[in-house]
Structure 1
Amino acid sequence: MAWLHPSRAALAATVERVLEAGWPIHGASDHGVSEALYLSDPDGLGVEIYADRPRERWPRRADGRGVEMVTLPLDIDDLLAQAPLEPAPELPAAIALGHVHLKVSDVARAAAFYRDALGFAEQARLPGAAFLSAGGYHHHIGLNSWQSRGAGPPPARAPGLARIVFELAHASALAQLEDMLATATGGRVPAERAPGRVCVEDPDGNRLAFLARPRV
């Protein structure tokens, strides 16, 4: 899971809390579109904390489609210099789940499912990884096979995400998704349906739920 911070200052404050708690940080990268640091929770699941750069500064691909994702060393000293003098003891209310990373056995197969059957736009590719999103974001879903190429699903009781939930703007978007899924897969991917909800599994067994936002 990757937690999006509203500013560099907010990210710096979180990094300071992590360091003060003595929790190890395994990596820190400048991805061009964002600045990110990586750690693991007590179950060994990856956690990313990051802040986006302004969208107008995101490096774009030469063909104008998607973004250029890079992995460069992060200037941690410059980031920590943005921390407030008295950082809040808790995460800011504006923090959000920005994206998720999923281990898959075949990146091309998984990317085709999310792109062609579910309608996400592919934004970037790296060796062994693909990044997809909705609405022009750099990525809401990261797919990689760096440690899972050719592997089967994890054991049923293994730690991990039980389900990933996406909220759609309205019921018609949910109906469009159902039509796209049926057309792209020839009806071969079973889906659980309930009022305002569709649940499916991707080719690697990751469970996905799509909800229509209720009208207000």
Structure 2
Amino acid sequence: MSELYKIDKNTELGSVTLNVQQLDQMIAYYSRVIGLDVLNQSDQKADLGTKDNEKVLLTLIKEEAKGTPTRKTGLFHTAFLLPSRKDLGNVLYSYLSREIPIGGASDHGYSEALYLQDPEGNGIEIYADKPKEVWDVRPDGTIAGITIQMDANGVIESRDEGQKIDKFPAGTIIGHVHLSVSSLDATHEFYVDVLGLDLKYNYGEQAKFLAAGDYHHHIGANTWAGENLPKREEIDLGLRSYSFVLPNEKALNKVKENFEKLDMQYTEEVSGAISVYDPNGVKVFLEVASN
């Protein structure tokens, strides 16, 4: 078999789609509390993002929960990447002034991050990257992370003083998606050996961090909820899908070639994107950046 292509180094994440039970409540939380804007809304679906550039970051789809909830693979958290530390300071100040519950605040060496949970239990990370010059980049290209207490005072001091900004700024993107997986080995095989991401860091035997290019991670994966979890189905509440955005059609065709060499099934979407399911039952879209 000929060598497989690495995914293009300029690949980024696009959007995340969640299945939710209480659509109105979830729209209110992500718009009024978290800081996204509602871009489109119907009785069954809502798209949220930043109004300044109309980019959809999060889609909420109403699904009826059936039966008793079962712990399955899926979302650990959706991570919203803000353009700067100043923006993170604006968000933190807004949350504290409105007494929004924050589950944690960490310094990871390469980023500073806030952690929350939405009303249906989906994890949320809101973070800003530190300058790449201070990242712990090893000679082999791996990027080591840490978890220590965030300098909350320093973050707040970096904000736009005298202003209270309750919305995410233009330039906010999905920085990474962190998954709760059944098997780290199977997840590694798909994202590294098939899709072509690079392994950036092994957190012992409990988590992996994977990325395109020189980023610290676009995908996180952990087994903290236990190994051999049941695979999620597309109608289960929580993470329905997420997307990678490749820079051009040539890069997308290279991914198709990988799938075809490995006899891996994928679907050609009407939009021109392709979709595939990862080993955890999460639907992954691969699309080309719009001009």
Q: Residue 14 of structure 1: CA displacement? A: 0.5
Please tell me whether the aligned partners of residues 28 and 37 of structure 1 are also in contact (alpha carbons under 8 angstroms).
yes
Does residue 94 of the first structure (1) align with residue 171 of the second (2)?
yes
Find 1:193's aligned residue among 268, 282, 286.
Answer: 268
TM-score, length of structure 2 as denominator length: 0.69
Bigger shift: residues 16-25 or 52-61: 16-25
Find 2:118's aligned residue among 33, 41, 56.
Answer: 41
Bigger shift: residues 32-41 or 148-157: 148-157
2:253 equivalent in structure 1: 175
TM-score, length of structure 1 as denominator length: 0.91
- Give the number of the structure whose residues are more often strand, by fraction: 2
Counterpart residue type for residue 142 of structure 2: G
Q: Residue 148 of structure 1: CA displacement? A: 3.8
Find 2:147's aligned residue among 65, 71, 85.
Answer: 71
Find 2:88's aligned residue among 11, 15, 21.
Answer: 11
Q: Residue 157 of structure 1: CA displacement? A: 4.0
**Compared CA separation, residues 168 and 103, structure 1 to 2 (3 A):** same
Q: Residue 156 of structure 1: CA displacement? A: 5.0
Find 1:152's aligned residue among 213, 224, 230.
Answer: 230
Q: Compare relative contact order (CA 8 Å, sep 6+) and give the higher one, 1 or 2.
A: 2
Work out the percentage of aligned pairs sharing the same amino acid: 35
Counterpart residue type for residue 187 of structure 2: A
Please tell me whether the aligned partners of residues 58 and 67 of structure 1 are also in contact (alpha carbons under 8 angstroms).
yes
Aligned-residue Cα RMSD (Å) equals 1.6
**Compared CA separation, residues 25 and 156, structure 1 to 2 (3 A):** same
Bigger shift: residues 1-10 or 14-23: 14-23
**Compared CA separation, residues 38 and 80, structure 1 to 2 (3 A):** same
Say which SS state the counterpart of residue 98 (structure 1) adopts: strand
Find 1:117's aligned residue among 183, 191, 194.
Answer: 194
1:54 equivalent in structure 2: 131
Question: Where has structure 1 moved over 4 Å in runs of 4 or more?
Answer: none
How many residue pairs are counted as aligned between the two chains? Answer: 211
- Per-residue CA deviation, residues 138-166 of structure 1 (Å, 9 max, x unaligned), is 11111111114211123654322221111
Counterpart residue type for residue 167 of structure 2: E
Q: Residue 182 of structure 1: CA displacement? A: 2.8
